[in-house]
A and B are shown apart, each in its own frame.
Chain A
Amino acid sequence: MATTTSDIQDEIDAHGHGAHDDHHHGPAKGLMRWVKTTNHKDIGTLYLWFAFTMLLVGGAMAMVIRAELFQPGLQFVEPQFFNQMTTLHGLIMVFGAIMPAFVGLANWQIPLMIGAKDMALPRMNNWSFWILPFAGSMLLSTLFMEGGGPAFGWTFYAPLSTTFAPASTDFFIFAVHMLGFSSIMGAINVIATIMNMRAPDMKLMDMPLFVWTWLITAFLLIAAMPVLAGAVTMMLTDRNFGTSFFDAAGGGDPVMFQHIFWFFGHPEVYIMILPAFGIVSQIIPTFARKPLFGYSSMVYATASIALLSFVVWAHHMFLTGMPIAGQMYFMYATIMISVPTGVKVFNWVTTMWRGSLTFETPMKWAVAFVILFTIGGFSGLMLGVAPVDIQYHDTYFVVAHFHYVLVSGALFSIIAAVFYWLPKWCGRMYNEKLATIHFWWAIISVNILFFPQHFLGLAGMPRRIPDYSTQFADFNMISSIGGFAFGASFLLLTYIIVTAIRSGEKIEEDRVWESAKGLEWTVATPAPYHTFDEPPKKAQILSESSHIGEH
């Protein structure tokens, strides 16, 4: 974004006449458009580019990790630096890439899908975004501080993160506070928007599933993020102000940290997957040319998953020495989540059943999601079995599990969503041929990367180590080769997206995909800066509902 001082001066001039009547001209020019914007489409764009940048940064760290693990022995980095890489890779991907990408999609799509002019609290929306670059830079800056960055894993268990942590940890805490604040404000905005700004004739059960899943995700965020904020606040006072929340020597309890962290942490993993469920539920009906099977069961399944996600946290802690009754409870509660999850997978498959399927790029990614996410769900089920988790815990099996659900789950759904909605956003089509090459490249390499990690875990290779015994050499080498190939696929993805935005074939139709349903396809292409000045009418809302079969 090249900006000159004269652009900024123009901006000041343009707004000299007062901040309130900027409603009916288009976007302002230059850098200030982005700094001061309260437009949901601009803010969505900012979130998405931020997330993409963080994805590349976190991806570079993953390349360091896979390079070090290419062979047994220490080759490239010091063990201490390796630990900083695994820690920051996890934190950046979770808080910098996946979550902001979903918020970006929410910003773009929720107002368009419910027939609203904008988000309910546009200025707060601006704040929620602009906190992120500062929080992200602060987190990354810890790498350059004396003593290095945080090296205690993305789960930052005490006392590793309190008594034995580097000085930079206080900056890490501040960054997490800011990231949490941003997420909470974003969630407040999503809830206020969906509750208050819907077209007057749109009932809750008329809402598209992406909106539903985001509404439920926002409630998860409201319940979970303050717990994370509490955890890091207690770390902060333990480190600096003489409390001993997590210090056994002072009467505190380090295991309590794990309970608090996972009370946040398990809902957090669903925060990263529920919007993905919503995306896939939008895309599959479009390319199967059938209404979504079981709309209302999808809504109830999402709500059940969200509620259950608060009562299973200790499946991450089977080895902390809890009573058998506790293990049994957390095991069965965890296994119960497969019921609503199974409902969803069943509904997606049934939507495709006997549909007139075509496999444009968004559909390819959506189908890949259904298959690969299910693999991750099954390994999760295995991990949820308490006696079995004693073997698997803290091995590469866990790493394989959560990468199947987060990379080939959450991330792939985001890629699907971008291919699905980018033509509407920009009025330009991506290159289908290149996108297909990219798809197969990524799908094959991601499986070469993560599937062997199941075998490594079953054979007992621990996670978070820079070196390993020689029996693990073959699978690690395969995994690293897949990793480098998967990493390289993002260069092609960047090229595809940038060329689509700049010079992709122009599209005229409002309904970019001929059988797509939803209010977002009723506005002009590319989506104008201001949409739905007038809320859409009942008949239109109903005819655009993707579950029209149920009306």
Chain B
Amino acid sequence: MTKEMTQEEDRLAQQRRGARTTALIVGGVALAIFLFTIFTNLEY
């Protein structure tokens, strides 16, 4: 493996991690909005 190759692999691995983190944050926000909608109305 050349040095360049490892850099490229590194970039891809970082990209994958980034994608997963983004997905978790965004998914978490969606879940929070869902729960908020229901629980703010729970007094009824």
A residues sitting closer than 8 Å to B (CB atoms) are: 120-121, 124, 184, 187-189, 191-193, 195-197, 200, 222-223, 225-227, 229-231, 233-234, 243-245, 247, 250-253, 256, 260
Contacts and interface: CB of A to CB of B under 8 A. Distances in A.
30 contacts: A120-B19, A120-B23, A121-B20, A124-B23, A184-B27, A188-B23, A188-B27, A188-B30, A189-B23, A191-B26, A192-B19, A192-B20, A195-B18, A195-B19, A195-B22, A197-B19, A222-B29, A222-B30, A223-B33, A226-B31, A226-B33, A226-B34, A229-B37, A230-B38, A234-B38, A244-B44, A245-B44, A251-B44, A253-B44, A260-B37
Nearest first, the 6 closest Cβ-Cβ pairs linking A and B are A230-B37, A120-B19, A226-B34, A252-B44, A226-B33, A196-B18
A263 to B, nearest CB: 9
Interface residues of B, number: 20
A252 B41 CA distance: 9
Interface of B: 11, 15, 18-20, 22-23, 26-27, 29-31, 33-38, 41, 44
Contacts of A197: 15, 19
B19 A234 contact: no
Nearest to A243: B44
A20 to B, nearest CB: 14
Contact of A192 (B22, B30, B34, B44): B22
Contacts of A231: 37
B26 to A, nearest CB: 5
B41 to A, nearest CB: 5
A345 B27 CA distance: 34
Nearest to A256: B41
Contacts of B30: 184, 188, 222, 225-226
A381 B35 CA distance: 34
A193 B37 CA distance: 28
Contacts of B34: 226-227, 229-230, 233
Given A196-B18, A196-B22, 15 more contacts: A120-B19, A121-B20, A188-B27, A191-B22, A195-B18, A222-B30, A226-B30, A227-B34, A230-B34, A230-B35, A230-B37, A233-B34, A233-B38, A250-B44, A253-B44
